Amino acid sequence: MPKEVYITRLSKFLPNSPVSNDEMEGLLGMINNKPSRGRRIVLRNNGIKNRYYALDENGNITHNNAQLTAEAVKGLFDKDFTIDNMEILACGTTSPDQLLPSHGSMVHGALGNSTTEVVTFSGACCAGMHSMKFAYMAIMAEMNKSAVTTGSEQTSSWMLARSFKEETRSQSELSELPFLAFEKDFLRWMLSDGAGAALLQDKPSDVGFSFKIEWLDLFSFAGEIETCMYAGSDKLENGELKGWKEYKQRDWVNNSIFSLKQDVKMLDKYIVKIGIKKLSETLKKKNLSIDEIDYFLPHMSSEFFRKKIMEELITNEIPIPLEKWFTNLTQVGNVGSASIYLMLEELLKFDKLKKGQKILLLVPESARFSYAYSLLTVV
């Protein structure tokens, strides 16, 4: 019989002080000394009021991704579970600090503890859930008794104005009014920095609540839908990606190959519709009624999608009422693969939490359209 698995501790690390909407451009910088034409529109739609950047007031990086993640992991340890008790370190991120070594290895290096098993999952928002599933399966198969799993992002340095100056200079040769394409400017006002970490064990904590993982499923639609969000490549007219290795070095800047880009029209068309349809199919397969759900934790990149998610839930006959939704997007921002960890960490401290309550997680990923769903029970 498979071993039961519990999330017994959760920790987060959000760097520096919260950054308000009015402070954002001052930290990220104005491209060509011109304020963004899309900033206010994006912020009005995404509903985010505060976020965190691993930057100082001069735009210098204060923490890289590995350091952010290591700080979150350290928050899991105490005299009862020390760093030397860590059997597995499973890390997920969209924004590693380098191509090689792996992000997980760099986090392990930042922690500086003795030998442990390390695994890294790359991708977008589901990367943190992939790392959690690896840990979940290792404990369920009785290969390990505990594992640390993380989701983290350091995207602010990707969005600094200095990263786009060469691009806009090349554009100015073609236009009197150099601009930054909306597919890139859009993301400058959407993303935040931070890290979350979870301790998974084969028994619940002796102190406080734990979350028992009932199931954790992930699905990819890459075989059906073309790429929506990408970096280190460019998207061709036929929908295929051409990677950085296929470009000459001078084109890396001229074609913004390493910028993070998103096809906003594709995002709007697919991200909610197919994700909620698959959620409906999953709940039917699991024979789970929405009446059994006490908390619904949907990772949303923007408050813009709240109404759309509700509409699709109704269309698919799973109308989870808004009073059961638990989110913190407006106060911590969209932290990609870390967002679900940040929500769970906050929920674990919630004073209305009771044993036996059921928690449904929904994590969408727009890169090539993937989805993660999980059911937890409070114990």
Residues 66-120 pLDDT 10s: 999 999 999 999 999 999 999 999 999 999 999 999 999 999 999 998 789 999 9
Cα torsion angle, 255, 257, 259, 263, sign: positive
Mean pLDDT of the 237-263 span: 91
DSSP string, 308-340: HHHHHHHHTT----GGGB---HHHH-B-GGGHH
Q: Which domain holds residue 352?
A: 212-228+265-378
- Name the token pair of 281: 């199919």
> 59 with 125, same domain?
yes
Angle between helices 273-285 and 304-315 (to 10 degrees): 40
Mean pLDDT within 217-221 = 98
For residues 304 and 47, the answer to whether their CB atoms sit within 8 Å is yes
H/E run at residue 39? helix 39-46
353 and 218 in a common domain: yes
More confident residue, 332 or 58: 332
Shared-domain flag, residues 196 and 222: no
Proportion of the chain above pLDDT 90, given as a percent: 84
Residue 327 shares a structural domain with residue 341 = yes
Q: What is the pLDDT of residues 14-34, one digit of tens each?
A: 999 999 999 999 999 998 888
Residues 66 and 27 occupy one common structural domain: yes
Predicted TM-score of the model (pTM) = 0.94
Residue-wise pLDDT tens digits, 314-330: 999 999 999 999 999 99
Residue 241 is assigned to a structural domain of this protein: no
Contact 36, 188 (CB under 8 A): yes
Is 110 a member of any domain? yes
Phi-psi region of 112 (alpha: psi -120 to 50; beta: other; left: phi over 0): left
β-pairing verdict for 194-201 and 211-220:
unpaired
| Cβ neighbours for 23, distance < 8 A, ≥ 6 positions apart | none
Residue 179 has pLDDT above 70, yes or no: no
